[in-house]
Amino acid sequence: MKIQVLGPGCGSCKQLHEQVLKAVKELNMDTEVEYVTDIQKIAEAGIMSSPALIIEGKVASAGTVPTVEKIKEMISGENSDNTESKSSGCCSCGGKC
């Protein structure tokens, strides 16, 4: 399974990365979590709000930091129709400014 966290390296981005690592560990998965901070790659992925969580090439969340439990649901495919996002306004802070 391919899991990516995309964001410029802000506090929320780092928090999401840690939450995803914890979720993967709690699910006893042997999966690498890629942390992408390259702005060019983030733009190429079409991410307009960070941080973003990409699971198997699909945006699972953007502009928010889901709970570990919610991330575990996303990874295991529960509620896969729901993409969690929040309006980010004019910057990439995820609506926190």
How many residues in the chain?
A: 97
Q: Which of 10, 90, 91, 97 is catalytic?
A: 10
Q: Quick check: helix, strand or coil at residue 4?
A: strand
Q: Quick check: helix, strand or coil at residue 60?
A: strand
Catalytic residue at 91? Answer: no
Tell me the CA end-to-end span of the chain in Å, nearest whole number: 33
Active-site annotation, residues: 10, 13
